[in-house]
Structure 1
């Protein structure tokens, strides 16, 4: 059986709540399944897609980290399983604040969780971009008697923690889900010091959003690592493949002997002694410098923890005649008038990182370029490095 599929233009900010009736009909089967896209952009084509699941609800775009974006087929049962497992982990149903674009899976799940819980979401006005003032104002419209939740990306959390009223608003939430990009330990420590309850999330469109919270899988979810550390995620939230791309879906999605659906990610990780999953980054983000592989996240965390004034850091590999690739760091600093020099950064990290992992190029930027739901745009950063000196 093939489910009817329709495009859905999702407005930004507070107007995104207008799609709730369409989303409700997609979930209960009284309306077509939906292919969400950002209002104002070109509507995606609706390709023939025979054999889609009978309870298909959404065809959600992936972030397109490598190559062209795809659309993951998410069923009503997968989305509801995700919402219920999230509420079970957080301590019960609650009212949600939408602070991210609702055509991406993280924003869509805020709306799905609201529908499943039977609560009315509130949305941040992003007509002037995401600002602490708009977040504070939206928080004030939540029901003070209800448990309140929101979902953010690290860049948003950084901005809110820098604002006194933003910190006060954050502390009101029973939980703040943090995903979309790596959360530096220093950022989590700052949030904890401010009395903010943060749950780091790991997942993607192919798993109906976050399915591992604080390193531990939600109810029904499992993870597995192959011999190289590549992560696979399994459980009821896994998508049923990609829209109109059965061959690609067959390579990424499998079904275990017990019937569990699995998705093989492009991420590497390890499991600690307590059984918690730690994601080290994408396979294709590893920097191969002088024949040695460097995980960008290790260098990013060292920059944030040990180089004074650095508030954001993203590390990429850039071509280098001598080393093949050079470790290149882009940073945002608290005081742009006093940026660190490359030599100072290398000296500060000497003995903390092995020599091959020390940055050989440095860019100080006013902001990290982003794509999708708050992910660093590593491709854009690579082009920005250009002819920065190598050391």
Structure 2
């Protein structure tokens, strides 16, 4: 077994290390962000002083949005399979613009696709429009999180329209945002996937070639060539989620006309006062409020309720915060009163991780 090499989590650092593991000349590596706290999480998850598991090319650290970060083992074959299947779905290889951090799987796979396609990735080191203008021709692709798409629809709409496809991942894409992109003539394709699946493996509800999706009592199961090999030095956790070739995700879904629809996480259903409450359903109702710009609903430990339902709400610019009673009344118009949040927190913006996901841990720390 070889040792794990730590490399700078910069586009140049990751690209060079990726080129080595893809052509067989390099050694397994883990990209390290410059932020000290993020770097410490990588060290804890990657454990560079220990030998690397056989077949590993890259160790990526999960974002830890709702739990302990883990080191995810990705093989050379999984990386290439993901890139190849993505190009096949999008219409062929092309040039990629990188607007994401390369030490997360979404950014890393943009660089992998570039290497597989034999094209030079374009870095976002100025405005999105200026970066798009540096694309050299042929098919043009990029990938980003929903927050970036919403921002660029306001500031760089023409540049967005110049791409053959824009993969949207890292978090659920709200329906209003999908409609805004479609109305603007932007080809935005919502993707479902995670670090353990080598980035997005289901595009627009349809699995990529080589990927299969199934459900086990509503839990999403994934099987295919892009799957990770396991968790770094965590064989017990690996055995828990990888069974007979299937990865048991923490997400719930349903199949509608053969397409996967993600409806929330397994832990999105909490028991509050003896009542089962689906947090994502409450969250979706809040997002229907005409003054709500963004919202997330979480469960927090509570001595009286067991788990209390807590809403974090961002209102439209210039608007007054929504009071607890107003929020509860709005939710109760279409959902059981027992589902209405017991606590409402108004925020200027939801805290986000570098991966583009809501920092749930930070939100819950503020209410405990």
- Note if contact 1:311-1:333 (Cα within 8 Å) is conserved in structure 2: yes
- Note if contact 2:65-2:358 (Cα within 8 Å) is conserved in structure 1: no
Unaligned runs of 5+ in 1: 126-132, 256-260, 387-391
Deviations, residues 126-165 of structure 1 (Å, cap 9, x unaligned): xxxxxxx72222122212x32211111122122222x2x3
- Note if contact 2:219-2:253 (Cα within 8 Å) is conserved in structure 1: yes
Greater alpha carbon shift after TM alignment, 39-48 vs 241-250: 39-48
Distance change in 2, residues 1:60/1:152 (3 Å): same
Q: Within 5 Å, give how 1:111-130 maps onto structure 2.
A: 111-125=111-125
- Note if contact 1:49-1:244 (Cα within 8 Å) is conserved in structure 2: no
The Cα of 1:66 is off from its aligned counterpart by 4.3
Structure 2 CA distance for aligned equivalents of residues 368 and 204 of structure 1: 21
Unaligned runs of 5+ in 2: none
Aligned to 2:297: 315
Distance change in 2, residues 1:68/1:340 (3 Å): closer
Distance change in 2, residues 1:292/1:173 (3 Å): farther
1:52 lines up with 2:42 in the alignment? no
Structure 2 CA distance for aligned equivalents of residues 50 and 79 of structure 1: 17
Structure 1 CA distance for aligned equivalents of residues 107 and 365 of structure 2: 29
Aligned to 1:134: 127
Alignment RMSD:
2.0
Q: Within 5 Å, give how 1:295-334 maps onto structure 2.
A: 295-304=278-287, 306-334=288-316
Q: Within 5 Å, give how 1:267-346 maps onto structure 2.
A: 267-272=251-256, 274-304=257-287, 306-346=288-328
TM-score (norm 2): 0.91
Structure 2 CA distance for aligned equivalents of residues 92 and 295 of structure 1: 40
- Note if contact 1:215-1:278 (Cα within 8 Å) is conserved in structure 2: yes
- Note if contact 1:184-1:301 (Cα within 8 Å) is conserved in structure 2: no
Aligned to 2:171: 181
SS at match of 2:201: strand
Structure 2 CA distance for aligned equivalents of residues 366 and 267 of structure 1: 28
Q: Within 5 Å, give how 1:1-391 maps onto structure 2.
A: 2-11=1-10, 16-41=11-36, 42=39, 44=43, 45-49=47-51, 51-53=53-55, 56-125=56-125, 134-143=127-136, 145-161=137-153, 163=154, 165-227=155-217, 229-255=218-244, 261-272=245-256, 274-304=257-287, 306-385=288-367
Distance change in 2, residues 1:4/1:70 (3 Å): same
The Cα of 1:117 is off from its aligned counterpart by 0.8
SS at match of 1:74: strand
Deviations, residues 67-121 of structure 1 (Å, cap 9, x unaligned): 4211111111111110111111111111111111110111100100111111111
Deviations, residues 196-236 of structure 1 (Å, cap 9, x unaligned): 11111111111111111122111110112112x12221100
* Equivalent pairs, count: 361
Greater alpha carbon shift after TM alignment, 340-349 vs 71-80: 340-349
Deviations, residues 6-32 of structure 1 (Å, cap 9, x unaligned): 111113xxxx23432221011111011
SS at match of 1:149: strand
- Note if contact 1:224-1:232 (Cα within 8 Å) is conserved in structure 2: yes
Structure 1 CA distance for aligned equivalents of residues 304 and 63 of structure 2: 33
Distance change in 2, residues 1:352/1:58 (3 Å): same
